[in-house]
Each structure stands twice: as C-alpha cells, then as structure tokens.
C-alpha cells in the first residue's frame, strides 16, 4: 500500500505567545495542497475542530514551518477535490480519528501554565491527536517525539503583557481563529 508523509504545521507566535499547531496532510507526496487538521479558538472560550481543505501553507501570508512526522498509508487519507473551504465534518480515517479527540474546553485559569489536563490549547490537542494516530498504528511512535520537541514551554503565552507589548509586526502573527 502506498504511503504519504504528513506534517506538523507550526505557526510561530509573537514574543510571549504560544505557537499554533496543526497537522497538514498533503494530497500528494510533496504536494502543495492538502488538508490542515487543527483546533481553533481561544483559551477563555474553548476550541473547535476544523478541517481546512485545499489549504496551501506556502500561499498563506502567515509564516509557518512544516515538520515531517511520519508516513501514513494512503488508505487512511481523504483527498478532497474542490475549492478551498473550512469544514467541520470528518471524512476518512485520519479525520475521524481527529474527531475522537475532544477539543480543549474553556480554561478556568488562562494564566495557569499549560498542561495536558486542565489548561489545554492547540499544542496539547495536537499531541493527543498524534498519540491516537500512533495507538491506531497509522503513524510510528517516533511522531510523538517529533511533535513534543516543537512545543512551547508551559508558561509561554499564559501571562499578561504590558500595554503595547507585542504590537510591532502583529499582523503576521496567529489570530484567535488559528488561521
């Protein structure tokens, strides 16, 4: 069965902001379009699962990096054919697996250090998603280490900044929707 490399897609945050994480599944090996699987929202309101179909990371104005995390059998991948769209309905094994991982709920204390249980955000959700892909044997266990190595320290992005801090260049940074 043919395989395809999938990627952690990481959008670095501004100073004192957490990076945004998602998984990017290209429609062809070394392709330019694919589906970005991620959660979007805000710590004080909670997050929701989103599938950005026909997404082209290199066409986005936002700076990102794609880190290969492993190869998946193409039988588990849904290759969307159509115009770019945002969807919330999972199709194919990888997306249905993403839907099995609960998006982070609203945090009771958004200033507490981020952790895997009570103060979760997109990075923690992505880790849980990758762990589930490994448990289903869609990915090798080494994917967990790759994604974990790119996480921010628990305290990053949990403190108030002085008025005006982080304003310079903020147009290039992640917005609350994680686009």
In a domain, 173, yes or no: no
In a domain, 8, yes or no: yes
pLDDT band at 175 (very low <50, low <70, confident <90, very high): very low
In a domain, 157, yes or no: no
Q: What is the mean pLDDT of residues 34-46?
A: 93
Q: What is the mean pLDDT of residues 138-143?
A: 98
In a domain, 167, yes or no: no
Residue-wise burial string across 8-25, b where 16 or more C-beta atoms lie within 10 A, e elsewhere: bbbbbbbeebbbbbbbbb
Kindly compute the dihedral angle of the four CA atoms of residues 62, 67, 73, 75, in this order, to the nearest 10 degrees. Answer: -10
In a domain, 87, yes or no: yes
**Which tops the pLDDT comparison, 129 or 109?**
129
Whole-angstrom distance, CA of residue 127 vs CA of residue 85? 25
In a domain, 175, yes or no: no
Mean pLDDT for the chain? 85
In a domain, 177, yes or no: no
pTM for the whole structure: 0.84
In a domain, 136, yes or no: yes
pLDDT higher than 60, residue 163:
no
pLDDT higher than 70, residue 172:
no
- How many domains does the structure of the chain reveal? 1
Classify strands 34-42 and 46-55 as parallel, antiparallel or unpaired: antiparallel
Task: Give the distance from CA 44 to its chain's centroid.
Answer: 18
**Number of residues in the chain:** 179
Q: What is the mean pLDDT of residues 30-45?
A: 93
Helix residue spans in the chain (DSSP H): 92-99, 122-135, 142-149
Q: Write down the pLDDT at residue 168.
A: 44
- Domain extent for 30: 3-151
pLDDT band at 122 (very low <50, low <70, confident <90, very high): confident
Q: Write down the pLDDT at residue 112.
A: 63
């Amino acid at each position: 069965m043919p395989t395809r490399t999938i990627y952690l897609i990481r959008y670095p945050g501004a100073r004192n902001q957490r990076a945004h994480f998602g998984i990017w599944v290209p429609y062809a090996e070394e392709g330019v379009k694919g589906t970005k699987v991620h959660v979007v929202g805000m710590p004080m309101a909670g997050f929701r699962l989103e599938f950005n179909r026909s997404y082209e990371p290199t066409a986005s104005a936002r700076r990102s990096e794609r880190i290969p995390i492993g190869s998946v059998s193409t039988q588990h991948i849904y290759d969307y054919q159509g115009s770019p769209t945002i969807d919330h309905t999972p199709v194919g094994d990888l997306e249905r697996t993403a839907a099995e991982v609960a998006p982070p709920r609203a945090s009771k204390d958004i200033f507490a250090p981020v952790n895997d249980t009570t103060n979760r955000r997109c990075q923690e959700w992505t880790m849980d998603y990758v762990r589930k892909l490994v448990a289903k044997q869609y990915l090798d266990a080494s994917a967990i280490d790759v994604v974990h190595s790119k996480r921010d320290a628990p305290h990053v992005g949990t403190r108030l900044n002085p008025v005006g801090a982080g304003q310079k260049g903020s147009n290039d940074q992640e917005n609350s929707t994680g686009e």
